[in-house]
Structure 1
Amino acid sequence: MELFGGTINTLQQSLNYASVKNQVITSNIANVDTPNYKARDVVFKDILQNEISNSITAKRTHPKHIPFSNESNQPYKIVVNQDTTYNHNGNNVDIDKQMAELAQNQIYYQSLIERINGKFNSLQTVIKGGR
């Protein structure tokens, strides 16, 4: 039996995602003036879709159909945007966009921390017998 029905595990994975996203954004900001640096982003694959595809077995009825396969167990991956260039030096980091994403990610991370603290406070209350 999982404690809190797997909520702690889900919150932990979400915190890992937010932490990786924060590292990628700060790396982009740090390299805003680096020639030919290409911005990176953390792409979040829909966990529900991933779970559905893991639990449903699909059969290819024709060899030209796209195969069903899972690339990774992580719910996210880091991608590099090679298609754009915003600066004369080949750099494509948009500082305004990165700062907005950083603020949004910090709010997301803080909300996850508050949620996991609530779970641990509930557990502490139960251990203390409701006091």
Structure 2
Amino acid sequence: MFEIKNGDTLFRLSFIERIEEPEDRRLDLIMCWLEITGCGINLRYQCELTIFDLESLKDKITHFYSALNKTGRPKPVSFAPRVPAFTCELNIFQESDYVEFTFSATPDVYEGWKLTGSITIDQSYFPALIQGIESILTN
């Protein structure tokens, strides 16, 4: 599970099931449950990710965290999966040691609306975030 929580605000991506592609496991689909709560909002919906999407997210977060430890000022990271049910960005928050996790969620691309928000986190989140993506990938 990939989870960021700060106060009443929550962004959680949980594994539901893997739809296997018999010809090529790299084409498996990973069905996840996305939950976003905070400021009176309670949004929950299913989203479809590919293994490539999840590996890309894991690599981007890993590189951001590594650069954060080395230089303290990593370049911003953006992630958008093949089916844009959600997107996210990581960036240093206003010349501090905190990181801003900014996201947008689009439960139904055809409905034409999306929720945007951000959560401020510190470096201690990164090992659990990386492990959370890995746990989704290995289910």
Please indicate the TM-score interval, normalised by the length of the shorter structure: 0.3 to 0.5
Normalised by the size of structure 1, how large is the TM-score?
0.42
- Higher helix share goes to which structure? 1
Higher relative contact order (CA 8 A, sep 6+): 1
What TM-score do you get using the length of structure 2 for normalisation? 0.40
Write 1 or 2 for the structure with the bigger share of strand: 2
